[in-house]
Amino acid sequence: MALIVQKFGGTSVGDTDRIRAVANRIKAYYEHGHQLAVVVSAMGKTTDKLVDMAQQLNENPRARELDMLLATGEQVSIALLAMALDGLGVPAISFTGGQVGILTDTKHSSARIQEIDTSRVRPYLEERQVCIVAGFQGVDKESNITTLGRGGSDLTAVALAAALQADECEIFTDVDGVYTTDPNKVPTARKMKAIAYEEMLELARLGAGVLHSRSVEVASKYGIVIHVRSSFNNAEGTRVVPEDQVMEKVVVRGVTLKTDEARISVIDIPDRPGLAASLFNRLARADVNVDMIVQSSGKENQNTISFTVPRNTLRVTREVVDAFLAEQQAGSVEVDEKIATISAVGIGMKSHSGVAASMFDALAKNEINIEMISTSEIKITVAVKEEQGRKALEVVHDAFGLGDQPAQS
């Protein structure tokens, strides 16, 4: 018998038929004798519909009231799922975020969990009632309803698993695990059996990891095993685990591709402390999301800073940069509008030298020119011309043996 936290997303509970299917799935677990806490999101498009109504009444609603509104979505799901289970003869009881003891700060729409008081839910688990918990929400200490922002329901599940010291946290989703790269782009991509927290974090930050980085951070902090798997079949998915539990040691665990980026190079600006900070502060104030940043020294006492931004923010980026250069009365700007970035992620890099060289070599052999390079402890990112992005992804995926042999670890 294990204590398992499960999480089903909005697609999995999209209508009453799907809720019934989820209930049947939970029933099978229940009959194995497990203690179950089940976190659910709002049904399908509910959140969109609620936001739409809000917009009709106020284009810029207060976050407190938006949280009050959106939290109803999960509340509907938990009540219906509890009823469905009850109808199947499985004892179940639903809890809102507040009722299950999720205390957050007061930052509406992106609240952070401060504490989970499990004293209310624990007795129900012990008498083997399935506890159905509203994801994405909590209450602040004044009992105002708060929501956790993007990836909030996953975060509820992982944090609850930590608070309950659960044996595993299963995230049921519309993909069946984490792949070495996007299988829609590289057909030889393979599903991993396991991935380390740090690797998953890098993939999540690259937007390619199924899970939101906040959930992975919490899982890592408390050592919770997350099992990412499909809500539509019973296949084993991918387990996100502590580094020492990943059986097979590989150098690179996964490779990602990001397109629709642009590169801006600010050339020959004075090599003066604080100048780069000034530029990136301005960009932050203009809500430009800067991705890679590379600085290299060119002429003496002069610098060149290159960075990438999402292409749809290129116009505002140029305005900020132009204003900056006008003020400095120095430097010039160079833009490449169509850039793709390829990242290779793996804890194995820490102990293997020559990983960057292998990657550059593979790209060179395929006549793909590297525009920018950036490395961190377990990640190497290169920027290339966008039209070569897909090819570069394949080449790198292949170079690290992720495609031609079982990458499962």
Closest distance between its own copies and the C-beta of residue 58, in Å? 4
Name the residue nearer to its own copies (CB basis): 76 or 314. Answer: 76
Which of 21, 69, 356, 373 is the binder for its own copies (CB under 8 A)? 69
Is residue 125 close enough to count as binding its own copies by CB under 8 A? no
Stretch that binds its own copies, among 88-96, 241-249, 251-259, 381-389 (CB under 8 A): 88-96
Q: Which long-range contacts (CB under 8 A, 24 or more apart) does 202-208 make?
A: 202/343, 202/345, 202/376, 202/378, 202/379, 203/178, 203/253, 203/254, 203/256, 203/345, 206/256, 206/258, 206/343, 206/345, 207/256, 207/258, 208/181, 208/182, 208/254, 208/256
Contact 179, 190 (CB under 8 A): yes
Q: Which residue has the tokens 């007795």?
A: 123
Closest distance between its own copies and the C-beta of residue 80, in Å? 6
**Would you tell me the crossing angle of helices 213-222 and 197-205 to the nearest 10 degrees?**
170
Is residue 104 close enough to count as binding its own copies by CB under 8 A? no
Stretch that binds its own copies, among 93-101, 268-276, 293-301, 361-369 (CB under 8 A): 93-101
d(C-alpha 82, C-alpha 80), whole Å:
5
Among residues 242, 44, 47, 39, the alpha carbon closest in space to that of 154 is found at 39
Site string for its own copies, 254-293 (x = CB under 8 A): ----------------------------------------
Site string for its own copies, 233-252 (x = CB under 8 A): --------------------
Which of 106, 110, 118, 144 is the binder for its own copies (CB under 8 A)? 144
Contact 103, 115 (CB under 8 A): yes
Name the residue nearer to its own copies (CB basis): 13 or 355. Answer: 13
Closest distance between its own copies and the C-beta of residue 339, in Å? 40
Is residue 57 close enough to count as binding its own copies by CB under 8 A? yes
The span from the first CA to the last CA of the chain, in angstroms, equals: 26
Cα atoms found within 13 Å of the Cα of residue 148, Cβ hemisphere only: 27
Which of 36, 38, 39, 82 is the binder for its own copies (CB under 8 A)? 82
Name the residue nearer to its own copies (CB basis): 59 or 377. Answer: 59
Closest distance between its own copies and the C-beta of residue 158, in Å? 24
The count of chain residues that interact with its own copies, using the rule CB under 8 A, is: 38
Is residue 78 close enough to count as binding its own copies by CB under 8 A? yes
Site string for its own copies, 11-40 (x = CB under 8 A): -----x--xx--x-----------------
d(C-alpha 362, C-alpha 226), whole Å:
33
Is residue 83 close enough to count as binding its own copies by CB under 8 A? yes
Is residue 75 close enough to count as binding its own copies by CB under 8 A? yes
Contact 193, 409 (CB under 8 A): yes
Q: What angle do CA 305, 258, 293 make, to 5 degrees?
A: 15
Is residue 362 close enough to count as binding its own copies by CB under 8 A? no
Which of 14, 21, 27, 64 is the binder for its own copies (CB under 8 A)? 64
Sign, CA dihedral 197-199-203-205, equals positive
Q: What are the backbone dihedrals phi and psi of residue 205, each rounded to the nearest 5 degrees, phi first? A: -65, -30
Closest distance between its own copies and the C-beta of residue 72, in Å? 4
R_g of the chain, CA atoms, integer Å: 24
Applying CB under 8 A, the residues found at the interface with its own copies are 16, 19-20, 23, 50, 53-54, 56-59, 61-62, 64-66, 68-69, 71-72, 75-76, 78-80, 82-84, 86-87, 93-94, 96, 98-99, 143-145
